[in-house]
Amino acid sequence: MKRYTFTSDVAVIGGGASGMFAALTAAKSGSRPSVTVYEAGERVGAKLSVTGNGRCNISNAGVSPERYHGSRRFAAAALELFSVQDAVRELGKYGVLITEEKDGKLFPYSLQASSVTDCLRFSCAEAGIALECDCAVRGIKAGKNGFVLTTERGEAFAKRVIMSTGSVAGVAASEETVYSPAVTLGHRLTRLLPSVVKVKTAAKELKALNGIKVNATVSAVKGGRLLRKESGEVLFTEYGLSGPPVLQLSRLVSSGECDCMLLDLMPEFSLEETEKILLSRGADFRDRPLSELLSGMLNKRVGQTVLKLAGYSPENKRAALIRAAGLIKALPVKVTGVTGMRSAQVCAGGIETADFNPLTMESRLVKGFYVTGEALNVDGDCGGFNLQWAWTSGYLAGKAAAEDIG
């Protein structure tokens, strides 16, 4: 047999969340196969270490198929086999203690994303997994007895290969670099779109609100038709909108499905209640400067902008206040796009799942080849759903690859 630089039973391409999880699952299986992780970067878990603003939203108690996009049925089948509770149990074995917040988001008790990476990294070392960093895989060939990988430090042979290269979201890598192992072996790549990303708008009149945060309900609409709504803190920026509810809806903007966002700036009140409040303020504070009429009710600059858009003046006060109430309940913001893949947290699209088994992540085209995580055409909402997909797909692939060898 030809002498290779690296030889192992299972090769994992990519040392991110799903890659390390797949490697650990395989290495700890009954057959105890040898496992090598090939990571292009200087260290494993680089993206995981900074996720969730450094806190690592590790999963979500509200995981359901509806929170996933792309190949939703594929994701649903896999999540049935490896759930949130399973992920919490397995991560606990590696030293990660998890806590649940009131909104269902799960975090490491340490609230440090880097500690999750450390636990996985230490566990890999303890399991005898070889972590080859600064060792990008440049090519792959499938043979009768396994696979030959061309790496930056020589050729490697493995009986089974798990591709966990992630996506092009938030990185400088090209599509070719990220998805080439699967594409080289005949798999299809779907259209790629930035998701969980900041939104650009054409609303020049809102430029004055740059840097202001408000609690609002945001509705994504197309031609007046409601597509989806989300609530939370919205941030006005120099280019448009950001904040959790905007990020959740950004996929609809990226795909061209949404042309406008409506901001409800007082979601706890009905339109009628808001009109009553504004008309009362107009009567009670008639001597106040226009710039102060909504102070104490809305952010000062937000209130000023709303009154300006409503055409408020002492001469048409009542009609303008009614218009202002309508704007407070549904401030229209025309969207023009998103800030791009480099600033996206998630990539919508990926390797077509029709050619894979959702119960094992194994290719239906090439036996012994598996794909996990963001590389597949499955993306979740922000809030821990994408990391749960990493744990689920990584576990199923690692388990199946090890059992196939053993």
CA 279/CA 172 separation, integer angstroms: 53
On the question of pLDDT at 31 being above 90, the answer is no
| Contact partners, residue 335, CB within 8 Å, separation at least 6 | 199, 200, 201, 202, 240, 241, 253, 258, 259, 260, 261
Token pair 């190949």 is found at 71
Q: What are the tens digits of pLDDT across the range 229-273? A: 999 999 999 999 999 999 999 999 999 999 999 999 999 999 999
151 and 109 in a common domain: yes
State residue 176's pLDDT score: 81
121 and 37 in a common domain: yes
Q: Domain range spanning residue 300?
A: 199-338
Confirm whether 295 is domain-assigned: yes
State residue 288's pLDDT score: 84
Contact 198, 247 (CB under 8 A): yes
Q: What integer is the mean pLDDT of 107-128?
A: 97
38 and 170 in a common domain: yes
The partner residues of 225 in beta bridges, in order of sequence, read 222
310 and 384 in a common domain: no
Q: What is the mean pLDDT of the chain?
A: 95
User: 338, 372, 392 — which closes off a domain?
Assistant: 338
What residue ranges in 265-314 does DSSP mark as E strands? Answer: none
Contact 263, 328 (CB under 8 A): no
Looking at this protein, which amino acid is placed at residue 21? F
149 and 174 in a common domain: yes
Q: What integer is the mean pLDDT of 155-165?
A: 97
Calculate the alpha carbon distances from 305 to 30, 77, 292, 310 in Å.
65, 48, 12, 9
Could you tell me the sign of the dihedral formed by the alpha carbons of 344, 195, 215, 57, in that order?
Answer: negative
Q: What are the tens digits of pLDDT across the range 341-381? A: 999 999 999 999 999 999 999 999 999 999 999 999 999 99
User: 338, 361, 376 — which closes off a domain?
Assistant: 338
177 and 32 in a common domain: yes
219 and 102 in a common domain: no
333 and 354 in a common domain: no
State residue 1's pLDDT score: 55
275 and 367 in a common domain: no
Could you tell me the sign of the dihedral formed by the alpha carbons of 377, 382, 388, 390, in that order?
Answer: positive
Please, which pLDDT band fits residue 174 given cuts at 50, 70 and 90? Answer: confident
Confirm whether 1 is domain-assigned: no
On the question of pLDDT at 203 being above 90, the answer is no
Q: What are the tens digits of pLDDT across the range 301-337? A: 999 999 999 997 777 889 999 999 999 999 999 999 9
Q: Which value, to the nearest 10 degrees, does the dihedral of the CA atoms of residues 41, 157, 361, 99 take?
A: -40
Confirm whether 222 is domain-assigned: yes
User: 308, 338, 368 — which closes off a domain?
Assistant: 338
How many residues make up the chain in this entry?
406
203 and 66 in a common domain: no
CA 322/CA 198 separation, integer angstroms: 31
Confirm whether 146 is domain-assigned: yes
On the question of pLDDT at 81 being above 80, the answer is yes
Query: Which of 174-188, 233-247, 279-293 comes out lowest in average pLDDT?
Result: 279-293
CA 289/CA 312 separation, integer angstroms: 12
Q: Which value, to the nearest 10 degrees, does the dihedral of the CA atoms of residues 358, 359, 362, 363 take?
A: -40
Q: What integer is the mean pLDDT of 118-147?
A: 96
Nearest to 356 by CA among 225, 190, 152: 190
Specify the number of domains making up the chain.
2
CATH code, domain carrying 138: 3.50.50.60
78 and 48 in a common domain: yes
Q: What integer is the mean pLDDT of 1-29?
A: 94
324 and 368 in a common domain: no
CA 88/CA 395 separation, integer angstroms: 12
